[in-house]
Amino acid sequence: MAKHRRLSSRRGSPSPARPARTRLPARSAVPARAGRSRVPHAERSSDAHTEAVRAYEHGVGALQQRDYGRAAQLLESVILRYPDEKELHERVRLYLNVCHRQVAPPDRTPQTTQERVYAATLALNAGAYENGLVHLRLALQAEPSNDHVHYMLGVLHALRRDFASSLSHLQRAVELNPENRFLAHQDADLAGLREADPSFRTIIDGAVTARHERRDAHRPRAAR
């Protein structure tokens, strides 16, 4: 009976080692998984920053070499591919503005009277009379006494069949420079005007006479 009681007491007593062995793996598994998920994320953040800085430096290098197209492409990639690099984006945008100014097409709008007359000539040759008229009116506003501008306006209005305006500008062109009379008599673009208005020659030739009369009127008496 004594033996039976001792055996019963050993079998009925809990074993302290087994629960410890079964719980330890479960406790150690949680930090192991958490550690594996955090480290790659930190590595990816560091790698992304390094790549962003490298792309930025390459972009600045291309800008210094005046390769503005490639520089803009590299700098824009920093903003598009690395949205978290906010501080770097500020510097990127400064250099992007430089790139965009350099690669933008130059302003082709005529600025001087000579450029406007040239643009009007191209427009006339292309049949774009209204466009040419805009350029010549601006040129005339800048230089009202430019005989070439008046002559070109005379030609343009003749092509537009506005013969009254054409004669007015041609007359003024000859008054300012008598050599325009010979051009007007021979210019093929004025053929329609010469045929439509029989007074063409009289008006053009009379402009030279009027110019001489005004010049004589302003000449000092002692010099006459």
pLDDT tens per residue across span 140-153: 999 999 999 999 99
Query: What number does CATH give the domain 113-223?
Result: 1.25.40.10
Segments making up each domain of the chain, as ranges:
45-104, 113-223
Q: What is d(CA 101, CA 65) in angstroms, rounded to the nearest whole number?
A: 16
**Mean pLDDT taken over the chain:** 79
pLDDT at 137: 96
Q: What is d(CA 30, CA 34) in angstroms, rounded to the nearest whole number?
A: 6
Q: How many angstroms separate the Cα of 172 from the Cα of each of 129, 134, 151, 175, 198?
A: 21, 19, 8, 5, 18
Q: What percentage of residues in the chain have a pLDDT greater than 70? A: 71
Q: How confident is the model at residue 16 (pLDDT cuts 50, 70, 90)?
A: very low
Q: What percentage of residues in the chain have a pLDDT greater than 90? A: 43
Single-letter amino acid, residue 139: A
Average pLDDT value for residue range 167-178: 94
Residue 98 has pLDDT above 90, yes or no: no
Average pLDDT value for residue range 40-53: 74
From 179, 154, 177, select the one nearest 165 (Cα to Cα): 154
Q: What is d(CA 180, CA 178) in angstroms, rounded to the nearest whole number?
A: 5
Please report the sign of the dihedral spanned by the C-alpha atoms of residue 178, residue 179, residue 184, residue 185: positive
Predicted TM-score (pTM) of this structure: 0.52
Residue 6 has pLDDT above 60, yes or no: no
- Where would I find the H helices in the chain? 2-12, 17-64, 68-81, 86-103, 113-125, 129-142, 147-159, 163-176, 180-186, 191-196, 200-217
Of 153-157, 171-175, 200-204, the poorest mean pLDDT is in: 200-204
Instruction: Report the Cα–Cα distance between both ends of the chain, in Å, rounded.
Output: 166
Residue 44 has pLDDT above 80, yes or no: no
pLDDT at 214: 54
pLDDT at 7: 38
Average pLDDT value for residue range 61-69: 88
Average pLDDT value for residue range 195-216: 76
pLDDT at 108: 76
Q: How confident is the model at residue 207 (pLDDT cuts 50, 70, 90)?
A: confident
